[in-house]
Amino acid sequence: MSVIDILFRVDEVCKKYDKYDIDKQREQNAYGDDAFARVYAVVDSTIQQALIKSEAAAKESNRAVAAAWNAEVRRAKGRLMDEVPKLRKLANKKAKGLTKEDIAIRQDLVLALPERIQAIPDGITSAASHTGGWAATSAHPHIKFDSPEGPVDSDYFSHSEESSQFRNEYEMRKLKQDEGLDIISEGLDTLKNLALDMNEELDRQVPLMDEIDSKVDRANSEVRNTNLRLKKTITEMRSSRNFCIDITLMCVLLGIIMWLYNALK
């Protein structure tokens, strides 16, 4: 039996005997009556996942993957912030089996939630350090391009020296790129104009080529006819020349006969 078969079998068996798994059942039914507890548990687990993801993104060297993960973390944070008002309402609801202290505790938990959510790091800190490295400067762990909403401190947006230097470099590089692109675009313009002119010239020459084609065809057939006639005439001539040769040879023969006759006489 292969490994995959074993795995499938194990899964099936577990599924069959799930109803005897006390811990799992307790987990599933634990918050069955208590809406607040259920939602709070979900929010908690989401926060944990987001924290894990952001830590992994910070460690990730591939900038694209890190950016994607950070984006997901940010999305999760947005969703969590939406859940917070719901939780607040649920916390104030009275449920059976809950003491006053429990309700107070729940309200505190809900209040603590927003801070916990905002605390999840989602900036492009690792990317910033990367570009810093590319520009051959030290890492800039405090630079964030997407500042999350929330309380804005008075010196939240103050430029550190490193950040302003980085910004200047960024602007310079952008300008150089723009210049390069301008030159490329000029070259492409020239190419385009040349290509369009060539296109028109070729269009102009197409009917001329057609005319040449037909004229050459005509000339070709005429030459062929002339060749045939010439051949016929030549064969005629040759045969007449053969005739001449005949006559000449006959004259020679007659001459020889005459000479013999004279000699024998």
Partner 1 sequence: MNRKGVHKTRRPRNQYNTTMASSDPNKLLSKADKLTRLSLTRWSADWKTATVLYEQAANGFRVSKNIEKAKTAYEKASQGQQMLSSPWDAAKHMESAAALAKELSNWREVADFYQKASELFMECGRPQPASDALAKGARALEDTMPEEAIQLYTDAITILEDDEKEQMSFDLYRAVTSVYIKLEKYTDAASSLLRLGLAADKCNATNSQTKAYLGAIIVYLYAHDFKQAEQCYNDCTQIDAFLKSDHSRCAGKFLSAYTDGDVDEIKKIAQSSAVSHLDHAIIRLARKLPTGDVSSLKAVTAEDDEEPLDENDLT
Interacting residue ranges for partner 1, rule: CB under 8 A: 186, 189-190, 193, 196-197, 199-200, 203-204, 207, 233, 237, 240-241
Handedness of CA 239, 244, 247, 253 (dihedral sign): negative
What is the maximum span of the chain, computed from C-alpha positions, in angstroms? Answer: 173
Nearest approach, Cβ of residue 239 and partner 1 (Å) = 12
Residue corresponding to tokens 């964030």: 144
Show the CA angle centred on residue 202, arms to residues 197 and 204, nearest 5°.
95
CA 46 to each of CA 107, 109, 111, 149, 243: distance values in angstroms, whole numbers, following the listed order? 19, 15, 17, 20, 117
Nearest approach, Cβ of residue 189 and partner 1 (Å) = 4
What are the b/e assignments for 26-47, b being 16+ CB within 10 Å?
eeeeeeeebebbebbeebeebb
Instruction: With CA atoms as reference, report the closest residue to 147 among 114, 118, 171.
Output: 118
Nearer to partner 1, 168 or 240 (CB): 240
Nearer to partner 1, 11 or 236 (CB): 236
Give the contacts of 88 (CB within 8 A, at least 6 positions apart).
107, 110
Nearer to partner 1, 89 or 231 (CB): 231
Nearer to partner 1, 29 or 239 (CB): 239
Nearest approach, Cβ of residue 254 and partner 1 (Å) = 23
Nearest approach, Cβ of residue 218 and partner 1 (Å) = 15
Nearer to partner 1, 200 or 222 (CB): 200
Nearest approach, Cβ of residue 147 and partner 1 (Å) = 39
Residue corresponding to tokens 């999760």: 76
